[in-house]
A = this chain, B = another copy of it.
Amino acid sequence: MARPRSFDPDDVLEIARQVFWQKGFQATSLDEITAASGVAKPSLYAAFGDKNALFLKVLDRYHDGILGWAERTLAQPVPAREAIRQWLTGFIPYCSGEKGQRGCLSINSATDGSLDQAELRRSIERYNRRLEELLRTRLRADRAEFRKGFDPDVTAHTIMVVHAGLLALAHQRPDSKRVKAVIDQVMSLLA
C-alpha cells in the first residue's frame, strides 16, 4: 500500500553515475542530479541517503558492472594472452573518449583527496583486488603458455598498473593509436 515510487532507482543511479563521472564528486551538486534525473532532493534522500551514500551506491554499481564484464572477457576459451589483450583493449573507448566519458570513475575517485572516507576507499580497494585476482587466476591457470620463470602474480599487478595509467592519462585525450601501441608493447611481457 501507500504511494509507489515514481522512478526506478537503478535509472537514477545510472544518471547520477554519468554526472559524477563527468564532473567529479565534489563538483557535482545534488541539484544537478535532480535536474538530470527529474527526481527531487527529498526523494533522493529517501531512496539513497545523503550525498556520500548515493555516491557509494553509484560507485559500487560501477564496480560491479566492470567486474562482470571482466569476468566474462577473461573466462573466454582462448589463450590467456588473447583474453587479457581483449580486456585491455576494451578500455580504449574510455581512453579516447568515444563513449562520452573519459577515464575511470573509480580511478578518478581514488585520486580525489577529498574522498578520504573509509567506506569509499574500501570499495575501491575491493574492486582493485578482485580485478587483479581475475587476472592472476587466469595467468596462473594458463601458466603453460608462458616461458619458464614467468611470474603470474607480478604480471597481474603490472597489468593493473598499466590499466590504471592508461585511464589516468585518458584525460589528456590521447590518440587511440598510441594506446594500442602501449598495449601491444605490454603484451610482450606475456611470453
Chain A residues within 8 Å of B, Cβ to Cβ: 21-24, 26-27, 103, 107-108, 110-114, 121, 124-125, 128, 151, 154-155, 157-158, 160-169, 171-172, 178, 181-182, 185-186, 188-189
Contacts and interface: CB of A to CB of B under 8 A. Distances in A.
Nearest to A189: B185
A22 B116 CA distance: 10
Contacts of A167: 168
Given A111-B111, A151-B185, A164-B169, 19 more contacts: A21-B113, A24-B26, A24-B113, A26-B114, A107-B168, A108-B112, A124-B172, A128-B172, A154-B178, A157-B178, A157-B182, A158-B185, A160-B165, A161-B162, A163-B165, A164-B164, A165-B165, A165-B166, A189-B189
Nearest to A188: B189
A118 to B, nearest CB: 13
Contacts of A165: 160-166, 168
A172 B125 CA distance: 7
Contact of A168 (B24, B110, B114, B172): B110
A164 B30 CA distance: 31
